[in-house]
Structure 1
Amino acid sequence: MRLSDFIVKQVDRIVDEWESFASTLKPAADSMNTVELRDHAKSILLAAARDMNTAQTKAEQIAKAQGEELNKTPTLDEAASSHGELRHTVGFDLVQMTSEFRHLRATVIRFWVESLQVPDAASFQDMIRFNEAIDEALAESTMAYAERSSRSRDIFLAILGHDLRAPLQAVGMCSDVLMRKSGIDPSSLNYITRIKSSSLQMATMVGDLLGFVRSRLGVSLPVERQPMEMVIACRDAIDEASVGHPDCNPTFNYTGNTQGEWDRNRIDQLLRNLIGNALQHGASSHQINVALTGDDNHVTLTVHNEGEPIAEEAIGSIFDPLVRSANENVGIHNPSTSLGLGLFIVKEVVSAHGGSITVTSNIGDGTTFTVVLPKKA
């Protein structure tokens, strides 16, 4: 009997074996009923049998063996993808889920070989086609599982970041109140200032994390444009940076009309990250230069710092998420507290406003980030 026909005829017996094995995958299996344990096993097997009966050339067989998406079986992919999602939902780990396919493959081959009297050339071809189908199903299940796992992680990070904002705001407000009290000795004031600067750093990291997760979930950064003066935003960002870096000595120059319509919160996020990046990776003197130029339709912001240039091989990925500077020795004077999300968030804010950002970095000239933002949408 050909293997595809054997699978159709023995499908219930094979699925019984699947269920028996799945019930041993603890602890998730402890709370699952028969329907949940069997899940999409029957659909996967029947779709695999149909796939085995379709015509396939030698070239198509080679292409499929190399992982090319050629002559894939939609019903097999759908069943396998749903299986991966549901196994993640009920609590199977990835190793447990993939082990189900290993056991399924072994069970089918064992049952079929036991039924054969004399294997022929067609039997070996059947095994090749069956393995192809199971490999395709395994790949689809794994992909669906990984996507669901990634989304769950992102949602968790979003909730965590959201819930952290309230206590951080409380820490910042309390430090503000303490700093305004009279009669505080210099030592205590220094501690309060450190608490304030640390809470600002943490708030920046939480904001970056939320922006990153939002982009991972497929949602662009929302912007609410309101009339604002970019000069004021730059000054506030520089003042905030100076709180955490008392030895910071930034210069700020501006020319032209710098009023426009932007999202102030997002612009603050952009400025904090650009200035913070310059402080982190610039020379030990913390000397940075911020310049702002306005014309009729745009403003151009530049943030410049001296020091070790960005490595040439890193320029292309500097705005990617979770990328840290390749020059680890640069930040010795100011150990990094970033998540590797700062410049990614900057790029997202710029894109949300319909602007552009570029970077130049070389020995002698230092590093300069240039942001061009339209004044209106």
Structure 2
Amino acid sequence: MSLADFIEANLDSLVADWAEFASQIGLEGTPLTDRELQDSARMMLTRIAADMRTPQSEAARKAKSRGEDADPDGGVTDAAQIHADDRLAQGFKLNDLVAEFRALRATVLRRWGEQSPPSAALFDDVIRFNESIDQTLSDSIRQYSMQVEAIRDRFAGVLAHDLRSPLGAIANSAEFLLQGDDVTASRMKAAANVQRSSARMKRMIDDLLDYTRTRLGDALPVTLVSQDIGRLCLYAVDEVGAGYPQAQIDVSLEGDLAGEWDGDRISQLMGNLLVNAIQHGSGDIAVSVSGLDQDVHLSVRNAGGPIPKEALPTLFDPLTRTYSSPDKRGTAAGIGLGLYICKRIAQAHGGHIDVASTADATTFKVTLPRSPKAAAVTP
């Protein structure tokens, strides 16, 4: 009897074995029903048997063994994804998911070997079965991981959103403490520290909200208004300077700086670049804003050690940090979203951001079209 025939002939008992094993690794203290434990097992075994009967060339076999021939719309993949979603909802861990497939493989081959003495003619069945199991396992792990990431992103988004209200209350309370004629020097210093910390927390929360929004498939929203980008950059410099009074920031404005921008987003972009320069650089920071033809160029330059070459390809990826000296590491280094948000803001305006880093200085340069709407339709 071929292995595919054996699977179909013994489907009920194989699924029962699957459920018995799954019951041993499920959530402790939360018993699952036989139906929940068997979930998509019957579907997966049926489609694995069908996959084993599908003609396969030697080239296809080789590609499949390398994971290069998995059909994302195939029956095996579909069943694996359903199973991964079920197990995640039931509280299984990734190691539990892998253990299930390991047990299924061993059970099917052992029981088939007991009923059908091995022969050279049946060896190909073993290969095909292992290929299908490996593909199913790979697809199931991929789907499980994607769902876990989506849940984490939603949680981060909800957390960041809910933190805005208490943070606003803290900032308003600090402002209240600074009012009146009886403000002592120590009270003023404490309230100013609260204000600066609140501003830094707000920037981090805003970045986290934007990150989760883009991770969940939403575009970064921008509201374009005709205005002077030089003023927006000056506002950002003043805001960051208040939070980092020790920083020396020099600003140079040149040319026509009028265009269509989202003021809040441009201030966010510039603020992130300035904070990055303060945290990872040394010495004075030079900000340059210049208008040339249809584009406007923003640059932030800081002295300090160069960014390692191996870090440049992923510098604008989320949750990535540039190198900091030991005295600047820790919580002050942020959560690694600032440059990623800068990139997304530039793209939302139809522009782009680049970096050049040498032994003398590091410069981030942002190029933005004056009219993002026009840039979006330009071939």
Q: Which residue does the alignment assign to 1:246?
A: 245
Matched residue SS, 2:221: coil
How much has 1:58 moved relative to structure 2?
Answer: 3.4
User: Who is 2:310 aligned against?
Assistant: 313
CA distance in 1 between partners of 2:92 and 2:331 (Å): 39
Q: Which residue of 2 aligns with 1:158?
A: 157
Are positions 1:369 and 2:364 aligned together?
Answer: yes
Structure 2 distance, partners of 1:223, 1:28, is: 48
Q: How does 1:1-377 map to 2 (within 5 A)?
A: 1-27=1-27, 30-69=30-69, 74-116=74-116, 118-283=117-282, 285=283, 287-295=284-292, 297-329=294-326, 331=328, 336-364=332-360, 366-376=361-371, 377=373
Counterpart AA for 2:350: G
Relative to structure 1, the CA distance from residue 330 to residue 255 in structure 2 (aligned partners, 3 Å threshold; closer, same or farther) is: farther
For the residues of structure 2 that align with 1:278 and 1:308, how far apart are their CA atoms? 11
Shift of 1:296: 5.2
Question: Deviation digits for residues 308-341 of structure 1, max 9, x if unmatched?
Answer: 2222332232211111113434737x97331111
Amino acid at match of 1:367: T
TM-score calculated relative to the size of structure 1: 0.92
The code of the aligned residue for 1:52 comes to: M
Distance 1:234 1:119 in 2: 76
**TM superposition score normalised by structure 2:** 0.92
Measured after TM superposition, the shift of residue 245 of structure 1 is 1.6
Alignment partner of 1:105: what SS? helix
Moved more, 252-261 or 266-275: 252-261
Amino acid at match of 1:245: Y
How far residue 63 of structure 1 moved from its aligned partner, in angstroms, is 2.7
For structure 1, the residue ranges without an aligned partner over 5 or more in a row are none
| CA shift digits 1:23-53 (9 cap, x unpaired) | 2233278353332221111111111111212
* 3-state SS of 1:24 partner: helix
- Provide the C-alpha distance between the structure 1 equivalents of 2:368 and 2:250, rounded to a whole number of angstroms: 21
Q: Is the Cα–Cα contact under 8 Å of residues 161 and 209 in structure 2 kept in the other structure?
A: yes
Q: Give the root-mean-square deviation of aligned CA atoms.
A: 2.1
Aligned residue pair count: 372
Compared CA separation, residues 250 and 206, structure 1 to 2 (3 A): same
Please give the alpha-carbon distance, in whole angstroms, between the structure 2 residues aligned to 1:141 and 1:211.
29
Structure 2 residues not aligned, in runs of 5+: 374-379
- CA contact 1:357–1:372 (8 Å) conserved in 2: yes
Structure 1 position 129, deviation (Å): 1.2
- Say which SS state the counterpart of residue 302 (structure 1) adopts: strand
The residue type equivalent to 1:339 in the other structure is I
Deviation at 1:224, TM superposition (A): 1.1
Contact map agreement 2:298 2:365 (CA 8 A) in 1: yes
Structure 1 stretch 94-103 or stretch 344-353: which is displaced more?
Answer: 94-103
Encode CA deviations 1:199-239: one digit per residue, 9 max, x unaligned: 11111111111111122112221111123332222222111
Alpha-carbon spacing, 1:225–1:218, altered in 2? closer, same or farther (3 Å): same
- Aligned partners of 1:234 and 1:271 also within 8 Å: yes
**SS of residue matched to 1:233:** helix
More displaced, 310-319 or 8-17? 310-319
